Amino acid sequence: MMIPLEAGSPRALYEQIYEYLKKDIKKGVLAEGSRLPSTRVLAESLKVSRSTTQMAYDQLVAEGYVEAVPHKGYYVLRLEALIEAEPELSGPFIREREEGEGKAEIDFSPRGIDLTHFPYNAWRKVTKDTLADNKKEMFLTGSPQGEPALRDAIRGYLYSARGVNCQAEQIIIGAGSEYLLMLLNQILGPGRRIAMESPTYKQAYRVLESLGCDMVPIEMDEGGMDVRFLEESAADVAYVMPSHQYPTGIVMPILRRQELLRWAGRKDGRFLIEDDYDSEFRYKGKPIPALQGLDGAGKVIYMGTFSKSIAPAIRVGYMVLPKPLLEIYRRRLGFYASTVSRIDQNIIYQFLTGGYYERHLNRMRAIYKSKHDLLLSKLKQLEDDFEVCGEYAGLHVLLTSKRGCSERWMIEQAWKKGVRVYGLSSCFIHKHQDKQPSTVLLGYANLSEDQIEKGIELLGQAWRE
Amino acid sequence: MMIPLEAGSPRALYEQIYEYLKKDIKKGVLAEGSRLPSTRVLAESLKVSRSTTQMAYDQLVAEGYVEAVPHKGYYVLRLEALIEAEPELSGPFIREREEGEGKAEIDFSPRGIDLTHFPYNAWRKVTKDTLADNKKEMFLTGSPQGEPALRDAIRGYLYSARGVNCQAEQIIIGAGSEYLLMLLNQILGPGRRIAMESPTYKQAYRVLESLGCDMVPIEMDEGGMDVRFLEESAADVAYVMPSHQYPTGIVMPILRRQELLRWAGRKDGRFLIEDDYDSEFRYKGKPIPALQGLDGAGKVIYMGTFSKSIAPAIRVGYMVLPKPLLEIYRRRLGFYASTVSRIDQNIIYQFLTGGYYERHLNRMRAIYKSKHDLLLSKLKQLEDDFEVCGEYAGLHVLLTSKRGCSERWMIEQAWKKGVRVYGLSSCFIHKHQDKQPSTVLLGYANLSEDQIEKGIELLGQAWRE
């Protein structure tokens, strides 16, 4: 790789390297999945010190352009990050967004949600009501765990919609699931060995790893986390998504759930973290109750969020602590103030108890089901070459090449037609990964029905060539 | 101490002990500052195991009724906690709030702010504007560090009002200073030895201690943290409040600031955390620029908040990272999503840039100054017996008995007249404290001028007896 470097430039050498690589990634010259030369090789070829290339790579990793895979090297990441992360205004770490560049015409992002049908009027109304009458108390410090009334409303919703059994006092409301994981890490005590399915929700993995947890990936079978491997891993906490595993879409069968609960019950201090991130959306059969509802021994930490069901920027999540952990929290961490403003809590409280939330969920479920059904019917035309799974729930499906085409090829071919699909491999946390998967994720929440139709049309063309 | 225990009760023994003690504290039978019997002595006298009394005490500590002083024992805390912390709804850890009980007629809380003069109309207007036109992007994930526009507005404000020199890219907006300390702890790396002045802002101390930092209290002289003791402490991070130390009100002189900066400069990895929590309010002389503005070496982490200047429940704070720490943050922790909703960030942005914030600050400064001046003039009638310090800034003053009356006596006497004042000792983090201080804190922000007048009248009576 030749990168033209200016010795006399006001920009540091590492910045020049970083800028050059970034541009190539954004242009697609370096495609998703490409492996970059090692920092040593690049340093030698450019005649700079290795710390210079290291800094450039670190910056690319920090900004989500590139991923460091231990023992393997640096790989160009999916371009999704470029769209969802906001650009900086100024300074050496600028991430400019040129108009049109790096933008797909049709983006099957698995992280999008439909905001065209957001109940803006209802939101404005509950906000207005919350701020009426100069309520002083809205601006005063509230309860550390969150407003009692909102916690009670969440408890009621969780009980009827998810089969979660808890009291309002077990609920902690926080500014997003990442903050709640930070708090939970303190409750569990630092340095815990935590098992996660692989592939999994990488963001939770990153948070827990950055907090110093000893993360172990566990193989999955068609029922989800394999309890034999979990047992062998010597982990004492397992993070699972039983209702709809991300990204595989696997629904954990009842027998596996019971096995997990038995595993947790066999030792003091073992816990299950149940991430129930998108269970609101299910398009077939009865809703699947939460694992927490089966737990009679105080072993399940239930985590929920309004990011999918209301909106990501709301920044409100909650967790339900089993009693033994609640006691630890109160004793050692009860002094932490709530991270969610009292006004926002009241807005959500009114949204829930005023019937808006239920109406909104019902409406969105119908809209998403219609998009889902359209997507599946369109995918039929690819069924000779591709297999669909993870359907009938959530906001994305998986598509696997029956001919063993690589994920990278699928992404690159789609990209040439202006369609963005997402590789499964970015969700893996295995240290060693033998071969590139042949699977991509197709999210449909943020697309119109026309876009879905056209997108699949284009994918058909892209992958036939 | 005799506590009647019921062996056959559905309530555990420790809960019965906890309930009994809690009731006595709330009734005032156990006054603030009283020492509880040791867990061993109480266990022997009640014929229960020591772990039972320990659990009861732990619960009282967790709920803020009692404080554990290492090597000394358990002391009943100031009753403030009973007012500001919200009660639970149900369950074994109920903290009921009976009507009228434990409520002072006039409460000189140093933590209150004036919300009578909050610009409710302006707040409603900027909220309404933010939600107008169904702006989808308000509900989408934003920048991890916070909205660029808001960061730029904060940068401008900090530059002109506080002399802080930074770029918007160095600012991280977060859901309150406690969350920002959690993040900062990750940036600095775990287990750091952190020096704090004693007495200090106890909440920050609790957060850092709970995160596993090795906290060392440093003696103060009339200029604040004593740098000789800091040097001896082997700490490499020092937490200071140079503009207006809490609770002493000391303004750190320029020479001491330079000494601190030199201390930080002598070793790689040394940093100063500047907590600038209430510098907006100064009633005499020129505003004192932030320590950060003197720092040419990237050694100061500046922390600010809207809790005092707007309202505590807003839950928005910010920190300014020096470049070396910014790089670590971006490389290792840049994936953390923002903890503040985009809507709230936009509301504050409009509040700042629409001129509302400046107007509000000017108005509040005048209101607080008027309260402050009245308080000082009223305190003149006590000047034979009491000395005032920490005046002319912030939202409280300190009052010290010239006759050496104990803080506890002052609090108890005041309480009998329905007036609540706050002991200095709860702010100490020294391991050994030789004698009870003779100083109480008088906050005035939340009181009307009539209340201030009447309160000092009553205190005069209470302390003459």
Mean pLDDT of A250-268: 94
pLDDT (0 to 100) of residue B101: 42
Residue B424: phi and psi, rounded to 5, are -70, -30
- In this predicted structure, the answer to whether residue A201 has a pLDDT above a threshold of 50 is yes
pLDDT (0 to 100) of residue B83: 33
Mean pLDDT of B354-372: 95
Per-residue pLDDT band for A11 (boundaries 50, 70, 90) equals confident
User: For chain B, what is the mean pLDDT?
Assistant: 88
Mean pLDDT of A261-278: 96
Per-residue pLDDT band for B104 (boundaries 50, 70, 90) equals low
pLDDT (0 to 100) of residue A52: 87
Taking Cα atoms as reference points, which of A48, A20, A53, A330 lies closest to residue A170? A330
Q: Calculate what percentage of chain A has a pLDDT beyond 90.
A: 66
Per-residue pLDDT band for A7 (boundaries 50, 70, 90) equals confident
Report the alpha-carbon distance of residue A305 to residue B450 in Å, rounded. 47
pLDDT (0 to 100) of residue B236: 95
Taking Cα atoms as reference points, which of B217, B219, B225 lies closest to residue B250? B225
Which of A65-74, A129-138, B103-112, B290-299 shows the lowest per-residue confidence on average (mean pLDDT)?
Answer: A65-74
Cβ-defined contact of B313 to A63 (cutoff 8 Å): no
User: For chain A, what is the mean pLDDT?
Assistant: 88
Give yes or no for a contact between A297 and A265, defined as CB atoms under 8 angstroms apart.
Answer: yes
Per-residue pLDDT band for A227 (boundaries 50, 70, 90) equals very high
Give yes or no for a contact between A89 and A59, defined as CB atoms under 8 angstroms apart.
Answer: no
Cβ-defined contact of B90 to A168 (cutoff 8 Å): yes
Give yes or no for a contact between A387 and A405, defined as CB atoms under 8 angstroms apart.
Answer: no
Closest Cα of chain A to B403: distance in Å? Answer: 35
Q: Interior CA angle at A181 toward A175 and A186, to 5°?
A: 115
Report the alpha-carbon distance of residue B355 to residue A97 in Å, rounded. 31
> How many C-beta neighbours within 10 Å does residue A426 have?
19
> Best residue in A15, A74, A90, A120 to probe B by mutation, most B CBs within 10 Å?
A120
Taking Cα atoms as reference points, which of B306, B308, B323 lies closest to residue B150? B306
How many angstroms from the chain centroid is the CA of residue B54? 28
Residue type, position B20, single letter: Y
Q: Which residues of A touch B189 (CB under 8 A)?
A: none
Give yes or no for a contact between B307 and B276, defined as CB atoms under 8 angstroms apart.
Answer: no
- In this predicted structure, the answer to whether residue B182 has a pLDDT above a threshold of 70 is yes
Element (H, E) at B14: helix B13-27
Which of A27-31, A356-360, B458-462 shows the lowest per-residue confidence on average (mean pLDDT)?
Answer: A27-31
Question: Could you read off the pLDDT of A146-159 as tens digits, one per residue?
Answer: 999 999 999 999 99
pLDDT (0 to 100) of residue A152: 95
Q: Which residues pair with A423 in a beta bridge?
A: A440
Tokens coding A25: 């990634």
Tokens coding A195: 């098992």
> How many C-beta neighbours within 10 Å does residue A363 have?
13
> How many C-beta neighbours within 10 Å does residue A403 have?
9
Give yes or no for a contact between A317 and A177, defined as CB atoms under 8 angstroms apart.
Answer: yes
Interface of A with B in 76-135 (CB under 8 A): 84-91, 93, 115-116, 118, 120, 123-124, 127-128, 131, 134
- In this predicted structure, the answer to whether residue A94 has a pLDDT above a threshold of 60 is no
Per-residue pLDDT band for A455 (boundaries 50, 70, 90) equals very high
Residue B393: phi and psi, rounded to 5, are -160, 160
Cβ-defined contact of B337 to A169 (cutoff 8 Å): no
> Best residue in B130, B140, B306, B351 to probe A by mutation, most A CBs within 10 Å?
B140
Q: Calculate what percentage of chain B has a pLDDT beyond 90.
A: 66
Report the alpha-carbon distance of residue B62 to residue B326 in Å, rounded. 35
pLDDT (0 to 100) of residue A432: 53
pLDDT (0 to 100) of residue B98: 33
Mean pLDDT of B218-234: 94
Interface of A with B in 54-73 (CB under 8 A): 58-59, 61-64
Closest Cα of chain A to B228: distance in Å? Answer: 32
Per-residue pLDDT band for B397 (boundaries 50, 70, 90) equals very high
Give yes or no for a contact between B31 and B76, defined as CB atoms under 8 angstroms apart.
Answer: yes
Q: Which residues of A touch B65 (CB under 8 A)?
A: none
- In this predicted structure, the answer to whether residue B30 has a pLDDT above a threshold of 90 is no
Tokens 């566990």 locate to A218
Mean pLDDT of A270-292: 90
Q: In what order do the strands lie in the sheet containing A237-240?
A: A171-174, A317-320, A300-305, A271-275, A237-240, A193-197, A214-218
> Best residue in B116, B182, B205, B309 to probe A by mutation, most A CBs within 10 Å?
B182
Per-residue pLDDT band for B15 (boundaries 50, 70, 90) equals confident
Cβ-defined contact of B206 to A167 (cutoff 8 Å): no
pLDDT (0 to 100) of residue A85: 31
Q: Is the dihedral of CA B203, B204, B207, B212 positive or negative?
A: negative
Mean pLDDT of A121-129: 95
Report the alpha-carbon distance of residue B465 to residue B453 in Å, rounded. 19
Tokens coding A245: 């595993």
Report the alpha-carbon distance of residue A452 to residue A457 in Å, rounded. 9
DSSP string, A131-153: HGGG-GGGGS---TT--HHHHHH
Q: Which residues of A touch B211 (CB under 8 A)?
A: 186
Per-residue pLDDT band for B62 (boundaries 50, 70, 90) equals low
How many angstroms from the chain centroid is the CA of residue B292? 21
> Best residue in A182, A208, A321, A360 to probe B by mutation, most B CBs within 10 Å?
A182
Per-residue pLDDT band for B358 (boundaries 50, 70, 90) equals very high
Angle subtended by helix axes B356-379 and B342-353, to nearest 10: 80
B192 close to A (CB below 8 A):
no
Q: Which residues of B touch A277 (CB under 8 A)?
A: none
Task: Look up residue B442 and give its DSSP letter.
Answer: E
Q: Calculate what percentage of chain B has a pLDDT beyond 70.
A: 92
Tokens 């034999």 locate to A228
Per-residue pLDDT band for B28 (boundaries 50, 70, 90) equals confident
Pick the more confident residue, B312 or B262. Answer: B262
